[in-house]
Structure 1
Amino acid sequence: MRGLGLKQIGLLLAALAAQTATATATLDMVYGAVASDPYMSGEGDQMPPHPGAVVEMAQAAAKGCRIALKLSRLPGKRLLTEMQHDQHDAAFMFSHNKEREAYFNYPMQGDEPDPRYRLTTLAYSLYALKNAPPAWNGKNLPALGAIGVNAGWSIADDLRAKGAKVETAKDTEMNFRKLKARHIAAYATQNHIGDRYLEDHPQAGIVRLQPPLSRKDYYLVFGKRWHRDNPALARCLWQQIGTLRESLLPTLLRQPWYRQP
């Protein structure tokens, strides 16, 4: 550092410290405690050896941005509440709605999330008893009777907005139990979850109804405070996700431990 004054040395040291801090930044990221194979595997707060294709995408994105990742799992309602109060930095997988936009930051393009940076796109459908399916034509939700939904899922608000009667339960297994007991007329869930259940329970007498309810993009989201303080890191992670969705995700979904129905 010969020839540098004290002021210049101080500025250089500050710049080096900032680079080190960026390289070793830790991101507190949370995701749901309910399995959503092949994207999020395992139940409860445990992470299995193959934690899910989207979990691995998040890990790879953090590595690409030189961020140390602290991952944990929470029940859906608790996750939403704690993210709303900035108790964690980031979360996945979340579709977009205006209520969530009030306390999450999405990769926006104008007034809508930018689909280039989505984690993936998933379809929702209704599942019903094979011997007594409601007459579903794609529009007559209010006439179907009670529809089961996992607690905290945004599809519940979508269904209510269309006039449907909605009953929530804590997870997929409980909703299918309610369906088999005829406590609900149908269960609305993501196709890959519902189809996996049908594959694992071929004697359950349940079918997926056509047409699908909807298709939704899902995103990695950031807490308002963390995003405000770390805009460059957030941008790096979203860009990594956009790249990995095309390069890494198809490879992960072909792995035998992430088999799809």
Structure 2
Amino acid sequence: MIRVLSGLCACLWLCQAASQPPAVRLCHEDAPSYPWLLENGRGLSQIMMGMVADRLGIAIQTEALPWVRCMAEVKAGRLDGLYKVSYAPERMALGEFPLKHGQPDAALRMLTDSYHLYRAKNSRLGWDGRHITHADKGIAAQTGFSIVGQLQQWDLRVDSSSRSAAVILRKVLLGRVDGAALQSRAADDAIAADPSLQGKLDKLEPPLAVKPYYLIFSHDFYLRQPALARRIWDAVAEVRASPAYAAARPGQ
């Protein structure tokens, strides 16, 4: 009888475990990036991933990690994926982007964001949409962000020693660099939140870059569960276009 009961308990446990939705382990950077990633967990990208989980009936577990570590954990297969990340050819080594004809499929993006160049008022730093001029001291950008490679391709000196947009903008005001190449919303939010930055900086037009940002999966996860990965990417696009997500982003 004891053996029968033990067998029944084991069977019930296994059946219950089998009925649990699969858990997908993701990471994102641990620095706030308004409006996409917020410390209270209510950033738009965080809300989107919650809606994706609900839509598919799966569990999504997310860790906030330093960006460089987040990328390393996914590349090593210790985490299943990361968000939000823009495409660069070298980032194909990190994991799997949603592709169409060998290129990232913008229809499956999480969002679109831009980078702008910021300078101190009365600075000679220039940007005409093609060339940055008068940047002898260099341009500051955030550690591990894709704009660093773009600036380096333009043969500019790049200071990528900091993660904080506010810290980088203070470097500009202190004259340590000629300008800052930052994600526009994050930089604008940093300026709005810090009176010491307000009225002292110019945001140069046009944008340095406008990029789609994606959820990517580790190569190991995609190899094990390609169908689930594709379902999640499809759900990202569906949520992005949904009235419920639009209602979560007033003024955006």
Settle same-fold status: TM greater than 0.5. Answer: yes
In the alignment, what sits opposite 1:190?
Answer: 183
For the aligned residue pairs, the C-alpha RMSD in angstroms reads 2.1
The 5 Å alignment of 1:14-53 reads: 21=18, 23-42=20-39, 48=40, 50-53=41-44
Question: What's the counterpart of residue 85 of structure 1?
Answer: 76
Q: CA–CA distance in 2 between the matches of 1:39 and 1:170?
A: 16
Number of the residue aligned with 1:199: 192
TM-score by length of 1: 0.84
Q: Is 2:141 aligned against 1:130?
A: no
Q: Does the C-alpha gap of structure 1 residues 178 and 22 become closer, same or farther in structure 2, counting only changes over 3 Å?
A: farther
CA distance in 2, matches of 1:230, 1:20: 18
In the alignment, the residues of structure 2 paired with residue 112 and residue 58 of structure 1 have an alpha-carbon distance, to the nearest angstrom, of: 23
Q: Aligned equivalents of 1:173 and 1:133: distance in 2?
A: 21
In the alignment, the residues of structure 1 paired with residue 176 and residue 98 of structure 2 have an alpha-carbon distance, to the nearest angstrom, of 39
The aligned amino acid for 1:211 is: P
Give me the whole-angstrom Cα distance separating, in 2, the residues matched to 1:61 and 1:22.
Answer: 19
Alignment partner, residue 222 of structure 1: 217
Q: CA deviation at 1:20?
A: 6.8
**Gaps spanning 5+ residues in structure 2: where?**
1-10
Structure 1 pair 85/225, CA: closer, same or farther in 2 (3 Å)?
same
* 1:176 matches 2:173: no
Alpha-carbon shift at residue 177 of structure 1 (Å): 1.8
In structure 1, how many angstroms separate the alpha carbons of the residues matched to 2:196 and 2:163? 23
1:6 alignment partner in structure 2: none
Percent identical pairs in the alignment equals: 26
Q: Residue 83 of structure 2 contacts residue 214 of structure 2 at CA under 8 Å; is this kept in 1? A: yes
Check the 8 A contact 2:71/2:94 in 1, yes or no: no
Say whether the 8 Å CA contact 2:166–2:191 is kept in structure 1: no
Aligned to 1:3: none
Tell me which residue corresponds to 2:246: 250
Q: Please, what TM-score do these two structures have when normalized by structure 2?
A: 0.87
1:243 partner letter: E
Q: Tell me if the contact between 1:33 and 1:76 (Cα under 8 Å) persists in the aligned partners.
A: yes
Q: CA deviation at 1:197?
A: 2.2
State the shift of 1:51 in Å. 2.6
Mark the CA change 1:58 to 1:239 in structure 2 (over 3 Å): closer, same or farther.
Answer: same
1 CA distance for matches of 2:19 and 2:26? 17
